[in-house]
Structure 1
């Protein structure tokens, strides 16, 4: 597996991988992405990005691996590569059931009092969405301090 910066020609595949993972398909600027590429076949098997927000915070986002390559350490490799190129603090949104996964990388769940303006607004919005409430899905914010 090779992890590399995305190119413009990867944009459609990034969108496809993110949508297949059923995660937020908004704000997928290919210039912010790292790509996990199969060393033998050359195809994209995973993606992830760092998004900068207007309040100065940065978010680890859009971590997705194609279904047939999941549970093989590809997502972890993408997370580590993105963290290696970013200075703390780094934030992320995830379903509460993924808290333990991100704890392995040094992230910790934070309360509203530690959230920046962007995360407060988005956390309140997402957790009030009727489809999330009906599905009993709770989204948390996590932070990596380095």
Structure 2
């Protein structure tokens, strides 16, 4: 039987579940303001996925906090969240991800911006890349932190 999934703007009552999901999938927990989130809920109202467009101090905007409960993955939920978040946004939209996730985001029109192209990368992402390198070395995280941009379209 097909489960019914509803996508909607987050409500204050979703805040705890959003933070729990972000912790569970081990992604950046900074800047989790519930009012920026779009959530996916099952037919019982349980949060199964989320994502946000997060503004930064340099004026850039980031697709961030894309997360789906493990039991619900590979069903198009993250993609539906991304598509709905983009419906009201103008490019460019930026993101950071581990390099293994580049192919996932490319299907939505994101392109990787290489580090040699530093002047076209907003300051926030240049700082993020710089600060992540020593953390990555110390924790032995494989791969690298990619910076990607959605210039519009697919």
- The TM-score by the shorter chain falls in which range? over 0.9
Q: Which residue of 2 aligns with 1:59?
A: 62
Q: Which residue of 2 aligns with 1:117?
A: 123
CA RMSD in angstroms comes to: 1.1
Q: Which residue of 1 aligns with 2:147?
A: 141
Partner of 2:129: helix, strand, or coil?
helix
Q: Quote how far apart the aligned CAs of 1:114 are.
A: 2.0
Q: Which residue of 2 aligns with 1:37?
A: 41
In structure 2, how many angstroms separate the alpha carbons of the residues matched to 1:41 and 1:31? Answer: 21
Q: Quote how far apart the aligned CAs of 1:136 are.
A: 2.1
Aligned length in residues? 144
Q: Quote how far apart the aligned CAs of 1:127 are.
A: 2.2
In structure 2, how many angstroms separate the alpha carbons of the residues matched to 1:69 and 1:125? Answer: 32
Deviates more, 1:120-129 or 1:15-24: 120-129
In structure 2, how many angstroms separate the alpha carbons of the residues matched to 1:68 and 1:88? Answer: 32
Moved over 6 A (4+): none
> What 5-or-longer segments of structure 2 have no aligned partner?
none
Q: Quote how far apart the aligned CAs of 1:80 are.
A: 0.8
**What is the TM-score when the length of structure 1 is the normalising length?**
0.94
Q: Which residue of 2 aligns with 1:131?
A: 138
In structure 2, how many angstroms separate the alpha carbons of the residues matched to 1:18 and 1:85? Answer: 23
Q: Which residue of 2 aligns with 1:83?
A: 86
Is 1:68 aligned with 2:43? no
Of 10, 14, 17, the residue aligned with 1:13 is 17
